[in-house]
Structure 1
Amino acid sequence: MKAVVYDSPRSFTVTEIPTPDPGPGEVRVRVRQTGICATDLHIHNGKFFAEFPLTPGHELVGPVDALGDGTEGFRVGEYVAVNPNMNCGHCAYCRVGNPLMCANLKGMGTNWPGAFAEYVVVPASLVYSVDGIDPDTSVFAEPTACAMHGVRTLSPPPGSSALVFGAGPTGLLLAQLIAHGGAASVTVAASSAFKLRRAADLGIDATYLMDRADLAGDVAKLKAAGGGFDLVVDATGSAAVSEQCVPLTRNGGTVMFYGVTEPEDLVRVSPYDVYRREITVKGSFAAIDTFPLAIAALRTGRARTDGLITHRFKLDDIAAALEALRGDRTVHKIILECWQE
């Protein structure tokens, strides 16, 4: 089969490798398409737990191609999505019911083979049916599952106000789910006008066009408009933006860091301000048990993806896809097509 194979950071080829056979309890999926996200750029650069050699890719959808011995619950040809995160089940965190903090966490496309390939083999326990959902929608199952975990972590109080920094696909999925999770109003702030137009099309209550060169001015204007927000989320992965969250949070409110920053990034915050105003600060890392909820939200339209896909590339054109993700301001969501019907 054809796959993208990295031998080290920033060094990869599109090459032929053996097609994997599913073992007992495993499913082989023929990858129709997979999404590319900013995390893939971190992995490209050797960050985010990447272990080489590696085939990246963690946002896939495609039909079941083969079933290993004893595998039940799926049929060949059934369209599925795959949870890319697998916990060990026996470390201290797993044994107290906190699998996402697993000391031995495995991530598809990070430290085990991913979906920038024509086929993947995965444990059946990580596979979820998305039959009947358009593949251009079900390919968002993984980012929607991450957003669903974010909403669960944030726990929006009924009637609360929320601000989400960032109008990328995960930011807009998160904003929609916060609105359906109890918030009375949701504002999305971003520096891209066309992404904010898409936010409005998806039903977001209000948008704000940011000036990244004047974040302090943005904060002052947003605060003056309504006195701040009960919930403030950074979904940009920019430490400079993360730093604006606490000042924009109302007394007793909650800040959540959701975007992927670099490990060395630091954010300045006044501990007195957090203490005096009883601000809660949370983090939301990834998804491990929210795939059924995410797929249900996609199936019912509670999480909409209309218009998010802007670019498509073939597997052979992975270099061009990564370059577009890195520098093309017209990109919203990139899809890598691993085969076509």
Structure 2
Amino acid sequence: MRAVVYDGPRSFAVREVPTPEPTAGQVRVRVVQTGVCGTDLHLHEGRFMAAYPMVPGHEVVGVVDALGDGVDGVEGVAGVAVGELVAVNPNAACGTCEYCREGRALLCDALTGIGSNLPGGFAEHVVAPAAQVFSVEGLDVDTAVLTEPTSCAAHAVDVIAPRHGSTALVIGAGPTGVLLAQLLRGSGASKVTVAAPTAFKLERATALGVDATYLMDRGDLAGDVQALLRRSGGSGYDVVVDATGAAVVAEVLVPLTRSGGTAVFYGVTDEEDRVAVSPYDVFRRELTIKGSFAEISSFPAAIAAMRSGRVRTDGLVTHRFGLDDYGLALEALRSDRTAHKVVVVP
């Protein structure tokens, strides 16, 4: 089969590799399409658990085409059969470390990720444990390919635990920001605002049910902060989330958070990034600072939200590339202001 293979940071090629065979308890999936996200840009640079040789791609939707021993295909471990459209949860925990034994598997000392330290979905086939494969039959593939980012957003809502009647501000209108905004709106927040510097993304957020939007300057973040505070009524927002992963943007979380509120680091930054926070401000205004990292058990909730229409994805996919154009897909994600969700179709 053909796959994108990295030998090291920024060094990749599309090459022929052996088609994987599912071992006991595994499922093989013929990839239909795989989403490209900001994490893939970090992996491209050798960050975020990258292990070489690496086949990236963690937002996988495809069709089951082979089953390993112990997966019977009718009442299998994950309830999937050959020919079924599925999404693959990339993340798994060891089950034995102190965090796993405490029931906090996402903090696992030995977390594995399909598409980072295990072969991923920028390939014609991928294998995964059956327990990490979920049926998305009946969903459009352009919705199903957003299962993983929707599950990350579902986990973030669990972390945030918004108070009913609260206000929320999501900074960033990429796919994950728009998905998170929808879930916050359906989980107790009375009004959700999305702020971003790209007008067409804000228009898409409005079309998908977000209450309010704000077009940021980003060249004048101080001005953006003042404008957003005015829009909040002057006191800020009960929940403020950075969904950009840009440290300079994350630095405005605390100033925009209402006293007693919660600031959330959600976008993927680089490990060496730093932001300045006034401990006195956090202390005096009794602020809560939280982080939300990926997900490990939120696929059922994400799929249910998409099936019910609580999460809508219409129009989010804007760009498609073949495997041979994987480099162009990364560049579109990095710098094409007309790109929203980018997918690779093997």
Corresponding residue for residue 310 of structure 2: 302
Corresponding residue for residue 320 of structure 2: 312
Q: After superposition, what is the alpha-carbon deviation per residue over 1:38-61, rounded to whole angstroms, capped at 9, x for unaligned?
A: 100000010111111100000010
TM-score, normalising length: structure 1: 0.98
For 1:264, the aligned partner's letter is: E
State the Cα distance separating 1:324 from its structure 2 match.
1.1
Corresponding residue for residue 28 of structure 2: 28
SS in 2 for 1:34: strand
In the aligned structure 1, how far is the partner of 2:14 from the partner of 2:207?
37
1:116-195 to structure 2, matched below 5 A, reads: 116-195=122-201
Q: Does 1:3 align with 2:3?
A: yes
Q: Which among 296, 321, 329 is matched to residue 329 of structure 2?
A: 321
In the aligned structure 2, how far is the partner of 1:206 from the partner of 1:188?
6
Q: Does 1:286 align with 2:294?
A: yes
State the Cα distance separating 1:235 from its structure 2 match.
0.4
For 2:219, the aligned partner's letter is: A
Q: Does 1:272 align with 2:280?
A: yes
For 2:17, the aligned partner's letter is: I
SS in 2 for 1:60: strand
For 1:138, the aligned partner's letter is: A
State the Cα distance separating 1:320 from its structure 2 match.
1.1
Corresponding residue for residue 224 of structure 1: 230
Corresponding residue for residue 104 of structure 1: 110
SS in 2 for 1:325: helix
SS in 2 for 1:217: helix
For 2:323, the aligned partner's letter is: L
Aligned residues: 338
In the aligned structure 2, how far is the partner of 1:245 from the partner of 1:23?
46
1:51-90 to structure 2, matched below 5 A, reads: 51-71=51-71, 72=76, 73-90=79-96
SS in 2 for 1:241: helix
In the aligned structure 2, how far is the partner of 1:139 from the partner of 1:253?
33
Q: Does 1:236 align with 2:244?
A: yes
SS in 1 for 2:344: strand
In the aligned structure 2, how far is the partner of 1:256 from the partner of 1:53?
33
State the Cα distance separating 1:224 from its structure 2 match.
2.0
Corresponding residue for residue 14 of structure 1: 14
In the aligned structure 2, how far is the partner of 1:222 from the partner of 1:137?
31
SS in 2 for 1:213: coil
Q: Which among 94, 97, 102 is matched to residue 91 of structure 1?
A: 97
For 2:127, the aligned partner's letter is: V
SS in 2 for 1:212: coil
Q: Does 1:204 align with 2:241?
A: no
For 1:327, the aligned partner's letter is: S
In the aligned structure 1, how far is the partner of 2:20 from the partner of 2:117?
17
Q: After superposition, what is the alpha-carbon deviation per residue over 1:198-222, rounded to whole angstroms, capped at 9, x for unaligned?
A: 1111111100000111001111111
In the aligned structure 2, how far is the partner of 1:327 from the partner of 1:213?
17
TM-score, normalising length: structure 2: 0.97
Question: What is the root-mean-square deviation in Å for CA atoms of aligned residues?
Answer: 0.7
For 2:45, the aligned partner's letter is: N
Q: After superposition, what is the alpha-carbon deviation per residue over 1:61-119, rounded to whole angstroms, capped at 9, x for unaligned?
A: 01100001111232110011011001000001000100000000001111111000000
In the aligned structure 1, how far is the partner of 2:279 from the partner of 2:244?
23
In the aligned structure 1, how far is the partner of 2:239 from the partner of 2:167?
6
**Unmatched runs of 5 consecutive residues or more in structure 1:** none
For 2:55, the aligned partner's letter is: T
Corresponding residue for residue 332 of structure 1: 340
In the aligned structure 2, how far is the partner of 1:81 from the partner of 1:51?
23
SS in 2 for 1:69: coil
For 2:44, the aligned partner's letter is: H
SS in 2 for 1:137: helix
